[in-house]
Amino acid sequence: MQDRHSQNEQTAENLPLRGIKVVEAAQGVAGPFCGRFLAALGAKVIKVERPPEGDWSRKIGPFLPGNVRSECSALYLYNNMGKESVLLDWETESGMSALETLVSSADILIEDWDRAYREEIGLTTDRFTSLNSELIEICATPFGLTGPYSRWKSTPIVQLALGGYLYLTGNSSEEPLMLPGHQPDYLTGLNAHNAVQIALWERARSGRGQFLEMSMMENLGVLHQFTFEMETYSGVVRNRNGLQWNKVGPFASYGITTLPCDDGYVAFGASTEDQWERLCAMLGREDLLDDPEFDTRLKRSQKSDTLDSLITDWMKGKTRQEVFLESSEKWFLPVAPVLNLNEVLRDPQFVQRNLFQPLSHPEAGEALYPTFPFAMSEIKPTVARAPLLGEHTSDVLGGLA
């Protein structure tokens, strides 16, 4: 595997964010995930980490093998691809002064200083934008900087709970289940990138910078499917229903269900009338199309256990991949195997899209890194490794003097 670092520096000059300088003081996932997009699109991203340990995600796993554990966190390595790392303690006077100097010539500042922390170290929201009127500062915190929860602590499960997601995953009446890893933070990072892109658009026209205060809880709120409309239009509280789609309200339907076959589970999505007809044809049960017991979506959803067992019988002796290919190619049904991570890494569709690229890191060695779900005809986002802690301190701070 080759180290793509130097190669990418040459191509960055053709990318849309060329010439944009970003200072990232955020830690964990939300802010850094935003910074990762900016770096991939050509910005120079200077990640400022507080000594001695740096970004807290360096202590969170999973870890790649390597002698220096703080350089081997896959969470850090993934979210900080293509950045430079500078050790700087903004809680000291000289550190803050160095940060101010960095930010005064920057276009974007990404941070995650919540209300409690701002009060603790005496940091007002206009500290940096007042130094640089063209600065776009994005502050991504769990609850935002105002409101009754703004001094509260949060973690992904707390975020998912208050954001209305936790309630929707898992078996009905059993403990609701969290999404894996750091999903609220990733969703926030994605939208923080969108916020910065919109602000860059604004700045290109008006010359104005902005302080953008983003709440993770609100990010979950805008990404609900029809949870709130079930309530506001039909008076139904959406519930969780395990492997089957919810059976209540106007969205009750059969066909969105996860079922076992010979080598694992398959996700089916056959909710429309057309798809119901094709599903019956696939199962060799066209007779159901004339059966008054199954002639509405609601009735079918109430018979979901019966229908599940028909599909399960049909899948006997088939692998996930066989079910997937037959359902998709021949019957044009939205069906997919539930893959495990190693299978995802080898999936032919993802491989063909170059969704994973090999990178080598001096401490953590070689691994495959997910790139981006989008492909662009004229832009090739850079894919480069994450920095070592303080790898660029002297380059960056030396240049300030």
Task: Say whether residue 219 binds other proteins (CB under 8 A).
Answer: yes
With contacts defined by CB under 8 A, name the span among 296-304, 308-316, 364-372, 392-400 that binds other proteins. Answer: 364-372
With contacts defined by CB under 8 A, name the span among 118-126, 268-276, 286-294, 300-308 that binds other proteins. Answer: 268-276
Nearer Cβ to other proteins (9/231): 231
Residues 6-25 that bind other proteins (CB under 8 A): 14-17
Helical residues (DSSP H) of 247-302, grouped into ranges: 273-283, 297-302
| 137 close to 109: Cβ distance less than 8 angstroms | yes
* HEC sequence for 64-105: CCCCCHHHCEHHHHHHCCCCEEEECCCCCHHHHHHHHHHHHC
Tokens in use for 167?
Answer: 């309630």
The amino acid sitting at 251 is F
Question: Minimum Å distance from CB 17 to other proteins?
Answer: 7
Task: Say whether residue 297 binds other proteins (CB under 8 A).
Answer: no
- Is the peptide bond preceding residue 337 cis, with omega within 30 degrees of 0? no
Nearer Cβ to other proteins (94/133): 133
| 32 close to 79: Cβ distance less than 8 angstroms | yes
Which of 224, 247, 285, 299 forms a contact with other proteins (CB under 8 A)?
224
| 4 close to 383: Cβ distance less than 8 angstroms | yes
With contacts defined by CB under 8 A, name the span among 213-221, 284-292, 298-306, 387-395 that binds other proteins. Answer: 213-221
Q: How far, in Å, CA of 86 to CA of 390, rounded?
A: 4
Residues 227-266 that bind other proteins (CB under 8 A): 227-234, 237-243, 245-246, 250-251, 256, 258, 264-266
Q: How far, in Å, CA of 278 to CA of 275, rounded?
A: 5
Nearer Cβ to other proteins (105/208): 208
Which of 100, 125, 152, 312 forms a contact with other proteins (CB under 8 A)?
152
Tokens 């894996």 -> residue: 180
141 vs 26, 83, 174, CA distance in Å? 10, 21, 30
CA 147 to chain centre: 25
With contacts defined by CB under 8 A, name the span among 1-9, 91-99, 184-192, 302-310 that binds other proteins. Answer: 184-192
Question: Minimum Å distance from CB 370 to other proteins?
Answer: 5
Task: Say whether residue 162 binds other proteins (CB under 8 A).
Answer: yes
Number of shown-chain residues binding other proteins (CB under 8 A) = 152
Q: How far, in Å, CA of 249 to CA of 239, rounded?
A: 10
Task: Say whether residue 312 binds other proteins (CB under 8 A).
Answer: no
Pairing of strands 356-361, 335-337: unpaired
Residues 53-112 that bind other proteins (CB under 8 A): 60-65, 73-75, 77-79
229 vs 37, 184, 232, 237, 246, CA distance in Å? 32, 21, 5, 9, 14
Which of 365, 380, 394, 400 forms a contact with other proteins (CB under 8 A)?
365
Nearer Cβ to other proteins (70/393): 70
Which of 7, 52, 133, 153 forms a contact with other proteins (CB under 8 A)?
153
Nearer Cβ to other proteins (338/400): 338
Residues 110-149 that bind other proteins (CB under 8 A): 143-144, 146-149
Residues 342-361 that bind other proteins (CB under 8 A): 342-345, 347-350, 352-353, 355-356
- Is the peptide bond preceding residue 62 cis, with omega within 30 degrees of 0? yes
